[in-house]
Amino acid sequence: MTIEMQMMQVRAPAKINLSLKILGRRADGFHEIETLIVPVSLCDEIKIDKHPTNKGIEFTCNDASVPKGDDNLVVRAAKTFFERTKLKGGVSIRLKKMIPHGAGLGGGSSDAASILLALNELFETKLPREALAKMGEAIGSDVPFFVFQSSAICKGRGELVTPVKLHEELSILLLKPEFGVSAAWAYQRWQDSQEVPGVRYKPQEFAGQTFLNDLERSVFDKFVFLAQMKTWLLEQPEVGAALMSGSGSTVFAVLREAADANRVAERAKAELDPELWVCVCETSGGSTAPRTMPTIQP
């Protein structure tokens, strides 16, 4: 006897970019990039209920600032799935946000990818990841990455995904100020931006990885506080490397072995900004069952 699945709960991981190189502007207005992206143990939580007789998409979120209509990537992902598969059923989706937006952590894209994966399982459509990733391309450049649930090198505008395995899992401290940064704005400014004097932009080598982000130049030029955060982190003895993730506004530190991440987080709030959002987490290789749960300080 087959028991039809009616409900799923999934975790949608955040990501950080260990490297991000901009190779130039494309004819379609996007930029050609090459980036190494890894999931981390910080996750949004999503509950999806299947309604075979209801053709609508019901969406609720604990964060009132998250858009509820077609501007929301979760809603767009669900609509795209039903349109492409021509299925008539509907779903109720409840999203619990833990990943801040405007942070360069890919929260919205991860939520969208998690919806595609979950609906594929709930409705037993048995589409391969490659087909789901193709659906995700029109939703957001990072969506295909999250569909593969693995660390990956991404090229093109981010949609060409090659899963890879990290040399080792990394202990990570995320720092984010109250403001966010628009990815579109950061890329538009890249060509004509200038380096902030005294800030380290050159590649960093640590734990078998090279850390570099070409978007730091355009973002730090306007948001100097982010440059100050990175510089401060690199001065801490517990920190092996520090970098802005994606287009910001999150700056992350890769911690040395046995470092006390919470102590670094407390110093950051005391010396940089008491209102900083901080999260202690780890790279997870795409697993939605991290070895340790992230610690978020209010």
Active site residues: 15, 142
**Joined tokens for residue 3:** 């028991």
d(CA 82, CA 201): 44
* Planar angle of CA 294, 19, 211, nearest 5 degrees: 80
Looking at residue 236, its amino acid is: Q
Q: What single DSSP character describes residue 289? A: S
d(CA 71, CA 170): 34
CB 33 within 8 A of CB 154: yes
Q: Is 26 helix (H, G, I), strand (E, B) or coil?
A: coil
Q: Which helix (H) or strand (E) holds 266?
A: helix 261-271
d(CA 20, CA 36): 7
Looking at residue 204, its amino acid is: Q
Instruction: Point out which residues pair with 156 in neighbouring strands.
Output: 33
CA proximity to 158, closest of 52, 33, 268? 33
From the number of C-beta atoms within 10 Å of its C-beta (0-12, 13-18, 19+), residue 79 rates as: middle
**From the centroid of its chain, how far is CA 108?**
8
From the number of C-beta atoms within 10 Å of its C-beta (0-12, 13-18, 19+), residue 28 rates as: exposed
d(CA 272, CA 293): 25
Determine phi and psi for 232, rounding to 5 degrees.
-60, -45
